[in-house]
Amino acid sequence: MITIGLDMMGGDYAPLEAVKGASAFMAYNKEEVHLVLIGDEEKLKLYLDGNSMNPSTYSIVHAAQVIEMHEHPTKALKEKQQSSIAIGFHLLATNKIDAFISAGNTGAMMVGALFSIKAIEGVLRPTIGAYMPRENGTLGLLVDVGLNADCKPENLNQFAILGSLFSEHILNIPSPKVGLVNIGEEEGKGNILTQAAYPLLKENKQINFVGNIEGRDILMDKADVLVCEGFTGNVVLKLAESIHDLTKRRNIQDEYFDRFNFETYGGVPVLGVAKPVIIGHGISGYTAFKNMINIACRMMKTDLTGKIKASFS
Amino acid sequence: MITIGLDMMGGDYAPLEAVKGASAFMAYNKEEVHLVLIGDEEKLKLYLDGNSMNPSTYSIVHAAQVIEMHEHPTKALKEKQQSSIAIGFHLLATNKIDAFISAGNTGAMMVGALFSIKAIEGVLRPTIGAYMPRENGTLGLLVDVGLNADCKPENLNQFAILGSLFSEHILNIPSPKVGLVNIGEEEGKGNILTQAAYPLLKENKQINFVGNIEGRDILMDKADVLVCEGFTGNVVLKLAESIHDLTKRRNIQDEYFDRFNFETYGGVPVLGVAKPVIIGHGISGYTAFKNMINIACRMMKTDLTGKIKASFS
């Protein structure tokens, strides 16, 4: 039995979309997953009432407080110990749940992941990635997308390992190709960081390094894991998100550009922390919640955390 | 009379597209511009033969060599002194021409601009930008897009001044809004570089600083001049270029996304060097050549270089 904790109060459409997402997931669940729904019990019962979820497949943990989207992460986590996020991390840290998912305050989720769960030994900096849709229907993984704005070469090298393991075991890409996001294709090109990271990646036997990739390759399938520091990654992710908004606003109907709807992917786990933590987009809809529960399940079933530990031991 | 030197051998479609571009420009030219066409005289005469250009409006300077696209810039410039690029910079340095344009080897053009023309006094690092098309029909300027992969805060502050002057005088945007490309909207957010650059930009009385902008704002009109180091800028530019390729490949017809065709813009000048130098895209077509001559003209007529000198004096 896998026990997954879900913050029902996080995200712009909470708790309704969280309830719908949990329900959609449970419709296909073969009794191997138990959901722990964390949030305002009274509200949750109200929303759950009209729902078809089998009451034996979930339990509710009451949270009297909510960390709002714009609160200061560290301060809020400290002061709102009865918030759904604080309770979620407490449950995770004390093994009451196996994984924790929230579409709430991103900063608070990161602080919680890094300080109440901590990094896997050997991981200098946990990271967070984002999917990049490709024309061939698959997903690339851009990593880091904002958790680490300033990086050392060794950080990029570790992101490559973490991203490769996620890509292989969760996205089912065997021997994922790792590309270093850079300016210029040849070895030796780039800024100080990428020039220094290149040889580390090249010599890293744990990954399938294919060399530098440029901005034009990010949406292509030249590499499956696209490694960069979190500054560039975050700018790229948000630019890609805006492309989706633009295509929608301009009534462009296209199967591929529809997949730029990052709301549906539901977030990528914080990679490199000791337990599965998934941070969703604030505007997560029910598909996103369903997908996040799915990813948490796959992480547990494939023992991704164990595989990461083994890689860094 | 403005004398503009044009490298006829640079770019993938040289010299045909260069000839067509020069001719298209000259059709509207009111005898105030004289073109100096630099390249293989025999070839040029062949292409110019069927052309309607008035022979008194241009002259040909023979160049026996060509620097190919993938040659090493410094080495090629040194060894191929009879190349069109080397001759162009020689003409520019000796005041035989007022401005020099090429769609040839980008590296050789940069080396030429920085070493044979040199930076304006006070400009720590000349820069090169790129247009970002916005839905409202105007162009933003992303600066730097690759000339300076590693930057100090003061470099970004200078890019803001250089970009503002270009945006105001060449793109006709009065008091252009300057945004710092960053992750997070509030002051204090970002990586070490942007955190340190923010106060410099804020206190800079020469620019209209509007604060941080995120990846999602790059294609919007939140800011007219988008300041970043050349690593992020280059990744963003090439990603944006790939969006155009994708929309074309997917047969998406859209007025806005059509404007992502960076080939037509024809390149942005190297800002901060002592004389107008414009580096075109390798795949420049005749519209790009025509536009580059136009920009060089505007730079001369508005005395952009003089205005930059005044700003940095």
B-interface mutation test, from A152, A183, A220, A261, most B Cβ less than 10 A away: A183
Q: Which residue of A has its CA nearest to B145?
A: A183
In whole angstroms, what separates CA B152 from the centre of its chain?
22
Lowest-pLDDT range of A14-28, A43-57, B160-174: A43-57
What integer pLDDT is reported at residue A190 of this predicted model? 96
Do residue B214 and residue A232 have CB atoms under 8 angstroms apart? no
| Overall pTM surpassing 0.80 (yes/no) | yes
Pick the CATH number of A126-261 from 3.40.718.10, 1.10.150.120, 3.40.50.2000, 3.30.2320.80: 3.40.718.10
Cβ of B237 within 8 Å of Cβ of A215? The answer is yes
- Residue A134 CA to residue B250 CA, distance in Å, equals 13
At A112 the pLDDT is: 95
Q: Look at residue A28 in the predicted model and tell me its pLDDT.
A: 85
Residues of A in contact with B237 (CB under 8 A): 215
Kindly tell me if the per-residue pLDDT of B158 is higher than 90.
yes
Nearest to B183 among A183, A231, A241 (CB): A231
3-state secondary structure of A115: helix
Please say if the pLDDT value at position A30 is more than 80. no
Q: Which residue of B has its CA nearest to A180?
A: B235
ipTM: 0.94
CB atoms within 10 A of CB A303: 12
pLDDT tens digit string along A172-195? Answer: 999 999 999 999 999 999 999 999
Q: B1-121+272-303: which CATH architecture?
A: 3-Layer(aba) Sandwich (3.40)
- Contact (Cβ atoms closer than 8 angstroms) between residue B184 and residue B214: yes
- Taking CB atoms and an 8 Å cutoff, what residues of chain B touch A147? none
Contact A163, A148 (CB under 8 A): no
Buried b (16+ CB within 10 A) or exposed e, B16-52: ebbbbbbbbbbeebeeebbbbbbbbbeebeebbeeee
Higher pLDDT, A87 or A56: A87
Residue identified by tokens 């080495």 is: B75
- Same topology, domains B1-121+272-303 and B124-262? Answer is yes
The type of residue at B137 is G
Quote the tokens at residue A136: 């061939």
The string of pLDDT tens digits covering residues A64-89 is 999 998 899 999 999 999 999 999 99
**Strand residues in chain A grouped as ranges (E):** 2-7, 33-39, 58-62, 99-102, 127-133, 139-143, 177-181, 208-213, 225-227, 270-271, 277-279
Residue B35 has pLDDT above 90, yes or no: yes
Q: Over the stretch B250-298, which tens digit does the pLDDT of each residue have?
A: 999 999 999 988 777 888 899 999 999 999 988 889 999 999 999 999 9
* Residues sharing a CB contact under 8 Å with residue B167, sequence separation 6 or more, in sequence order: B141, B173, B176, B224, B225
List, for residues B70-125, the tens digit of each pLDDT value.
Answer: 899 999 999 999 999 999 999 999 999 999 999 999 999 999 999 999 999 999 99
What is the overall mean pLDDT for chain B? 94
Phi-psi region of A167 (alpha: psi -120 to 50; beta: other; left: phi over 0): alpha
Q: Please report, for residues A260, B204, B238, B278, the alpha-carbon distance to residue B292 in angstroms, rounded to integers and kept in the order given.
A: 34, 30, 20, 7
Quick one: pLDDT band at residue B40, thresholds 50, 70, 90? very high
Residue B195 is predicted with a pLDDT of 98
Q: What are phi and psi of B266, to 5 degrees?
A: 85, 10
User: How far out from the chain centre does Cα A33 lie?
Assistant: 20
**What is the CATH code of the structural domain delimited by B124-262?**
3.40.718.10
Round the average pLDDT of chain A to a whole number and report it: 94
Show me where the domains of chain B are located. 1-121+272-303, 124-262
Residue A146 tokens, joined: 């904002």
Buried b or exposed e, range B115-132, using 16+ CB within 10 angstroms: ebbebbeebbbbbbbbbb
**To the nearest whole percent, how much of chain A has pLDDT over 90?**
87
How confident is the model at residue A263, as a pLDDT?
A: 76
Topology given in CATH for the domain delimited by A1-123+272-313: Isopropylmalate Dehydrogenase (3.40.718)
Amino acid found at B266: G
Q: Tell which B residues from 198 to 227 touch A, by Cβ distance under 8 Å.
A: 214-220
CA distance B170 to B172: 5
Q: Is residue A160 predicted with pLDDT exceeding 90? A: yes
What Rg value do the Cα atoms of chain A yield, rounded? 19
